[in-house]
Amino acid sequence: MSRVGRLRAEISAGWRSFARRRTAVFFTFLFPALLIVIFGALVRTDPGGGGLFAEPPAYYVPGYLAVVVLFTPLSRLGSEVARHREGNRFEKLATTPLTRGEWLFASTVVNAAIIGLASLLILGLVVALTGAGIAFSPLLVPYVVVGVVCFCGVGAMLGSYTDSRDGAVAASNAIGLPLLFLSETFVTAAQLPGWFEPLMALSPLTYFARGVRAATAPEVAGGGDPTVNLLVLSAFAVAFFALGARSIPRTD
């Protein structure tokens, strides 16, 4: 079987596996929607009022997108790799022409398709429920895709180095929650201690948030360049994808 055929078969199997899991479908599509309803429509933002959610609604669009761009790859890839290890599936994979990089690439394509659909739902709800004035920039597509590639690599590493599926999920939450709130998504840099600001540059999600904000709402983005942020995020994605593919065990 050719490489294209192998990838097509693995992508098809991955998509069917996701569609059969109702819990996964629920958390991927409905959980972000609930966040938007609670924080966007019920709590609402208070521009100029100080504290949390003191920015215009458009400021928080990257945060809502980050919920799926960050958590879905971390939890799905982490638990999937751990599940394959528990079932000795990588030992069987080693006897096939499908390489570890191809397996991770196919899983990343499935996640990109899922998260792309979820992102469309999120953007529609944000505009409808919060009245956020955003521009639908063509840069949104590469930002979502590159973000998925980056965090799929991280998820593969979590699944490779934790001892079980529960451990992989726990690790994804332990990493994902701090990143979600400390990467200029829902909390601005001005609301954090001054000494912490340089540490934000170590988070790939920071560049995702800054870039998406600059592309969709430049008036609230603080003058960031979306292209530069995309390039930095791409560098993170290449590095983490390579590390993720390398971390996947050949045998168990």
92, 97, 102, 104 alpha-carbon torsion, rounded to 10°: 0
The three-class DSSP label of residue 26 is: helix
Q: Is residue 236 part of a domain?
A: yes
Q: Is residue 53 part of a domain?
A: yes
Question: Which residue carries 């540059």 as its tokens?
Answer: 201
Q: Is residue 120 part of a domain?
A: yes
Q: Is residue 252 part of a domain?
A: no
pLDDT at 51: 55
Range of the domain at 33: 3-247
First vs last Cα of the chain: how many Å apart?
Answer: 25
What span, in angstroms and rounded, lies between the C-alpha atoms of 172 and 161? 12
Give the 3-state DSSP-derived string for 195-226, with helices as H, strands as E and coil as C. Answer: HHHHHHCCCHHHHHHHHHHHHHCHHHCCCCCH
**What is the torsional sign of CA 138, 140, 142, 143?**
positive
The answer for residues whose C-beta is within 8 angstroms of residue 28's C-beta and 6 or more apart is 68, 72, 114, 115, 118
pLDDT at 230: 95
- What's the one-letter identity of residue 1? M
**Over its length of 252 residues, how does the chain's per-residue pLDDT go in tens digits?**
677 777 777 777 776 777 677 676 777 777 777 777 776 656 655 555 555 666 788 888 888 899 889 988 998 888 888 888 877 777 777 677 778 888 899 999 999 998 999 899 888 888 887 777 788 889 999 999 999 999 999 999 998 898 888 888 889 889 988 998 889 888 888 888 888 888 888 999 999 999 999 998 887 766 578 899 999 999 999 999 999 999 988 765
The answer for residues whose C-beta is within 8 angstroms of residue 213's C-beta and 6 or more apart is 58, 59, 61, 62, 184, 220, 221, 224
Q: Is residue 23 part of a domain?
A: yes
What span, in angstroms and rounded, lies between the C-alpha atoms of 10 and 24? 19
What span, in angstroms and rounded, lies between the C-alpha atoms of 69 and 150? 9
The three-class DSSP label of residue 142 is: helix
Question: Which residue carries 């899983």 as its tokens?
Answer: 107
pLDDT at 128: 82
pLDDT at 46: 57
Domain tally, the chain: 1
DSSP 134: -
